[in-house]
Each structure stands twice: as C-alpha cells, then as structure tokens.
A and B are shown apart, each in its own frame.
Chain A
Amino acid sequence: MLPRCADVDLVDAASEVLGMMFFTDVMNGNVIGEPPDKPVTVKVEFQGASSGMLHMSMPRETAEALTANFLGLPMGEVPSEEQMNDVVNELGNMVCGSFLSKHESEELFDLSKPEILAAAAELPAQVATLHRSLELDNGKMVLALSWDRLNPAA
C-alpha cells in the first residue's frame, strides 16, 4: 500500500520543479510508457527518517531542451555535455528534495550528490518502486522512486 499520496506528490513535485524553473509544462503525469532508448538518467539517494533513491530518465533531446530552458540559452543553441549533466543533476536534486519536503515536513533528510548513470543503465524494477511517466510539452520523462516506505514489510 502506498504512503498517502506518494504517487500524486511525486508527479506534483516534478511538475512544480519543471514549471517554475525549467519553463516546462507536464501535460500528462500518468502515461504508461517504456523507458526511453539511450536515455540520460540521474540517480539521487536519500536518507533520514526514511531512505531510498529516485531515478529520473529522459531522452537526450528532452535533457537538452530542459538544459537550454534552465540556463536561458539562445534559441537553437545546443548545450554542452557538461552543462546538460550539471542541469540534469540539479533537476534530480530538486525533484527529490521537493518530494521529500512534502512527505517529511518535520524530519531532516540528506540527499546524496546526484549521479548521471551510463546510458545502458536500467531503472529499478523492484516491487517497492513507484514508476511514473511524464509527458512534457517538450519531451518525456520517467520517474522511478525506490523508497522503504513503499515496502509493506519495512
């Protein structure tokens, strides 16, 4: 059984971050879809009253568009690999922190330094992982939240 509103809060957290800081709207937060091929994937681990990790995966084109929006690059300018990785790391950090702040409002938590995974990395498939696919106005994204509070035995 999911903690109260975990799935809604995860999509809300991503929507708020993308809307406020990346000028990107989430058109649909409940799309069932396959992870993108050769994606850009960021992983953020967290510890505190509860622990777990968040993976965010998106096609390279989406990552480039989000990076350009965040950095305010001129129209048509393609961000460097370093810029893209830095921005995707920051995106993962913000979405994970925003989600946890909704759920752990009284408890301190620590976020790991976000890490870009190799393109071939697969998203976690454990039972205690919440998956959501987001359809964005400039691409798509898959979220996978592994969290000890999703595990009924925890």
Chain B
Amino acid sequence: MALRVLIVDDAPAMRLYIRRTLQMSGLALSAVFEAGDGKEGIAVLEREHLQGAGIDLVFTDINMPVMNGEEFVTQLQQEERLREVPVLVISTDATKTRVLRLRELGARGYISKPCAPEMIRLKVEQILGRDYAAALC
C-alpha cells in the first residue's frame, strides 16, 4: 500500500529534507503534497478528501505563520472527516510541556529536530503499523 503524505512547514528547505528522507527511506509513496502553513494544509486535506483519495499521514512543524502547528492539529480534530488522519509533529521545541500539549490536542507522534532519517521512518512505522512494512523495500 503506497502512502499519500502531506508535509506542512513554512521552510521550503525543511519540506524538501522530509520529502527526500521519505523517498530514500524505502517507504512506498504514491504522492507527497506540501503546504506552507496550517491553513494551506487544511485546504490540501479537504481537497484530497473531496477527491476521494485522502491523505494517509501528515508531517507538520509548530512555528509557522498564518496558522501554526498547534492550531492546525486543533482544527483537524474539529473536522469530523479529517480527525482520523494521523499527524506527526517535527519541531525543534522538544520540551515536555510542548510534547504533552500536542498529544492532548490530538497529534499522534512527535519527532524533535535534529532527527536522523532513520527516526522519521521508525515513527512512520510506529504510527501506521506494520501494514506499511510490506511496502518497504
């Protein structure tokens, strides 16, 4: 089963890093979408949901303009058709308070930067389960 992934980050370099890491990790990807903030991310999720394909996993930063990562996760939880989409937060802010707050808001996982490429792949496997392990090279 090939993954459809959305990367939400205001830094193009970080979006490219995550995209490249996913592509090199051996995970089977059928589509990778990008958004520069939470509001754009919601728009992509709604569009893809309406088109019937949906998104399997979202990576998001916290510090972003317009709609930050916490607001993004909160809004997703308020959207019945989108709240089951797992969100993995990647951020430099690894304080316990921040991680606990994000978990309470509904984030499914957290990766603190800096992160090795293997960590991203491990987290994806943890969140999506072994169904996706079959898709690994």
The answer on a CB contact under 8 Å between B95 and A101 is yes
Q: Cα distance A117–B95 when bound, in Å?
A: 28
Supposing A86-B12, A90-B11 touch, asked if A70 and B113 sit within 8 A by C-beta, the answer is: no
Which B residues lie within 8 Å of A97 (CB)? 91-94, 113
CB < 8 Å neighbour of B113 from A19, A71, A89, A98:
A98
The answer on a CB contact under 8 Å between B92 and A20 is no
Q: Cα distance A6–B22 when bound, in Å?
A: 34
Q: Is A87 an interface residue (CB 8 A)?
A: yes
Binds A, one of B13-21, B45-53, B128-136: B13-21
Per-residue interface assignment for chain A, residues 18 to 31, with 1 indicating a CB less than 8 Å from any chain B CB and 0 otherwise:
01110000000000
Q: Cα distance A17–B112 when bound, in Å?
A: 11
Q: Cα distance A93–B63 when bound, in Å?
A: 10
Question: Quick one: closest B residue to A114, CB to CB?
Answer: B11
A126-146 CB contacts (< 8 Å) to partner B? none
B89 to chain A, nearest CB (A): 13
The answer on a CB contact under 8 Å between A111 and B92 is yes
Q: Is A96 an interface residue (CB 8 A)?
A: yes
A58-113 CB contacts (< 8 Å) to partner B? 67, 70-72, 83, 86-87, 89-90, 93-94, 96-98, 100-101, 104-111, 113
Query: How many residues on chain A are close to B (CB under 8 Å)?
Result: 30
The answer on a CB contact under 8 Å between A20 and B114 is yes
Which A residues lie within 8 Å of B65 (CB)? 113
Query: How many residues on chain B are close to A (CB under 8 Å)?
Result: 23
Q: Is A16 an interface residue (CB 8 A)?
A: yes
Question: Quick one: closest B residue to A84, CB to CB?
Answer: B13
Q: Cα distance A86–B14 when bound, in Å?
A: 9
The answer on a CB contact under 8 Å between A94 and B92 is yes
A-B contact pairs, 29 of them (CB 8 A): A17-B114, A19-B114, A20-B116, A21-B113, A67-B13, A70-B17, A71-B17, A71-B20, A72-B20, A86-B11, A86-B12, A86-B13, A89-B11, A90-B11, A93-B11, A94-B92, A94-B114, A97-B94, A98-B113, A98-B114, A101-B92, A101-B95, A104-B95, A106-B96, A108-B97, A108-B101, A111-B63, A111-B93, A113-B63
Q: Which A residues are closer than 8 A to B by beta carbons? A: 16-17, 19-21, 67, 70-72, 83, 86-87, 89-90, 93-94, 96-98, 100-101, 104-111, 113
Q: Which B residues are closer than 8 A to A by beta carbons? A: 11-14, 16-17, 20, 63, 65, 91-98, 101, 112-116
